[in-house]
Amino acid sequence: MRKLIALLVLSSTLSAADIPVTPASGIQAAIDTAVSGDRLLLEAGTYLEQIDFGGKLIEVIGVEGAQLTIIDGNGVGPVVRFAMGEGPAARLSGVTVTGGVASAGAGGIACSSGSTPTIADVIIRNNVGKFGGGVTGSPILDRCAIHDNRASLSNGGGVYGAPQMSHCIVARNTVTSAHGGGLYLTGGNASITDCLIVENRTVFGGGGHGGGVHVASTANATFERTLIAGNSASAGVFAAIGAGVFVGGTADFNNCAIVGNRLFSASDVAGGIWGAATVRNSIVRDNDGDQLVGVGAVTYSNVTGGFLGTGIIDVDPSFVDTVAGDYHLLPASACIDAGDPNQLDPDGTVADMGAFPFQTLYTHSSTLESDWANLNAPQVSASLAGEQVRFDLLAGPQNAGRTYVILAGLSGATPGQTLPSGTIVPLNFDVLTDLVVNNLNTPAFDGFLGSLDGQGRASATLDTIVALGPAAIGLEITFAYVLTAPISFASNPITVDVLQ
């Protein structure tokens, strides 16, 4: 059923030829016959091959999603190549890329010759390369999970290059005798937005620089709303530098959290950030050694041990649950509204410190391995079966045990709906509201009605394909929840964009 619905979604917006592909027919054979504008629709299964887009602006789409659609390089070479200047219209989505081995460039996805393809909803894991284990080059990476890749005697365990990344997780990648366990940014301008960079490492050799991230001298990098946690750098003959981040070029960190990064020798330097970085509205805490070394301006941030700069505090940030990988802020956090007064959060209040602004309703974002392949974002692709959004509810312990109801609408958040109790729900009721209310706790709207736990928390899941089908493409859906008996509490709104 999921497969049928996904195919209906895809066929509803035909732009050129849609070419069905099976493991028996092969992806490369279909690429060879395709022309720019075509879409290759991959059935679920394992494709034992290496593919090259050959300069064609085509889309290769796993219609049943990355966990069921696997391109395995089988240890022969790079799994996917973009080597003829392909632009963003060349698109790979809904697949797992694994089993690649390369003597130069990434074993997973290699982008060269100025190629800037779009890679979305892709899992890139267990690849080995030189100068990028998982990804090389300057692609656009959206909602990707890049984990357990390795670069040996070269830089960039996860990614090497100047990518534009959003809503990605870069986890447990490794470099041996080199730098940049997770990311090695080089060769231009890179942007990292709404990402998690966790548990990456440099090992052996002459002292790794940047267990999580290495910004090379040729790079300018911007980090927005990004968590860099639990990465490590180990020393060899020389000291390791920057367990979280090493900056050799320039880097700007705005609304980030650099926490719990580890060094392994007394001679190692800077568990947090080393180098010419600017830091604002961020949390830099509980890293080994010095938190910040050689950085530029640091403002409106929470730093262990304090730091010279405007708006610096030194307090427990009160994360929701670090054991469960949730680095959102609890309602009593001193980081709320403590950022730069000239910057605002999405709710219109003064910016909070950290990677996640305080919200009582938010899309789940976790560093736990069980979530790596299902990284949630407020954007989903309706063309991939099984696309889900997990919502986390956070009403505080004072509301423990109360009943909640999650509501949805298609008409935006303002002016909202005023209930008889006087409570204003920040969404406008419409036909979707009726659909949700009549289907609470069905597979489409799992957990949309329930009780908060002893800490005033709960979780729920929206299945976009089951709930909405082809008609959802292009919609902006607003969600909010209320607490009942009596109705005296309404959450913030959150918007989910449904993409093709």
The per-residue pLDDT for 463 is: 83
**176 in the same domain as 53:** no
Rounded to whole angstroms, how far apart are CA atoms 174 and 184?
11
Rounded to whole angstroms, how far apart are CA atoms 176 and 157?
8
Rounded to whole angstroms, how far apart are CA atoms 270 and 290?
5
Instruction: State which H helix or E strand residue 433 sits in.
Output: helix 431-437
Closest CA to 172 of 373, 392, 376, 389: 373
Please report whether residue 139 resides in a domain. no
**44 in the same domain as 3:** yes
Q: What mean pLDDT is predicted for residues 227-240?
A: 85
One-letter identity of residue 237: V
Q: Which tokens is 68 given?
A: 């069921």
Radius of gyration of the chain (CA): 23
Please report whether residue 71 resides in a domain. yes
Model confidence band, residue 9 (pLDDT cutoffs 50, 70, 90): very low
| HSE (side-chain half, CA atoms, 13 Å) at 76 | 10
Q: Which tokens is 62 given?
A: 């796993």
The per-residue pLDDT for 328 is: 97
Rounded to whole angstroms, how far apart are CA atoms 265 and 14?
58
Q: What is the pLDDT of residues 41-66, one digit of tens each?
A: 999 999 999 999 999 999 999 999 99
Rounded to whole angstroms, how far apart are CA atoms 462 and 447?
9
Please report whether residue 467 resides in a domain. yes
**56 in the same domain as 27:** yes
**389 in the same domain as 257:** no
Closest CA to 43 of 61, 17, 67: 61
CB 161 within 8 Å of CB 136: yes
**What is the percentage of the chain residues whose pLDDT exceeds 70?**
94
> What is the domain count for the chain?
3
Instruction: State which H helix or E strand residue 432 sits in.
Output: helix 431-437
Rounded to whole angstroms, how far apart are CA atoms 338 and 481?
26
Q: Which tokens is 366 given?
A: 């976790």
Please report whether residue 293 resides in a domain. yes
Average predicted confidence (pLDDT) for the chain:
92
Contacts of 404 (CB under 8 A, 6+ apart): 393, 395, 449, 450, 451, 452, 458, 481, 482, 483, 484
Rounded to whole angstroms, how far apart are CA atoms 338 and 353?
6
Please report whether residue 59 resides in a domain. yes
**184 in the same domain as 97:** no
**256 in the same domain as 331:** yes
Please report whether residue 109 resides in a domain. yes
Q: What mean pLDDT is predicted for residues 72-82?
A: 96
**473 in the same domain as 412:** yes
Model confidence band, residue 16 (pLDDT cutoffs 50, 70, 90): confident
Q: Provide the strand spans (E) within 168-272.
A: 169-171, 174-176, 183-185, 188-193, 196-198, 201-203, 213-215, 219-224, 227-229, 232-233, 245-254, 257-259, 262-263
Please report whether residue 482 resides in a domain. yes
**442 in the same domain as 327:** no
CATH code at 47?
Answer: 2.160.20.10
**285 in the same domain as 402:** no
**73 in the same domain as 203:** no
Closest CA to 352 of 292, 321, 311: 311
Q: What is the pLDDT of residues 348-392, one digit of tens each?
A: 999 999 999 999 999 988 999 998 987 778 888 877 766 789 999
Closest CA to 114 of 140, 138, 131: 138
Q: Which residue has the tokens 């690849």?
A: 127
**207 in the same domain as 157:** yes
Reply yes or no: is the peptide bond before residue 20 cis, omega within 30 of 0: no
**326 in the same domain as 191:** yes
Answer with the one of 355, 386, 408 that is the final residue of a domain: 355
**In the 8-state DSSP scheme, what is residue 313?**
B
Q: Which residue has the tokens 């580890």?
A: 262
Please report whether residue 243 resides in a domain. yes
CATH code at 454?
Answer: 2.60.40
For the cut 50, the answer to whether the pLDDT of residue 5 exceeds it is no
Q: Which domain holds residue 474?
A: 370-499
CB 41 within 8 Å of CB 18: yes
Q: What mean pLDDT is predicted for residues 212-240?
A: 91
Model confidence band, residue 86 (pLDDT cutoffs 50, 70, 90): very high
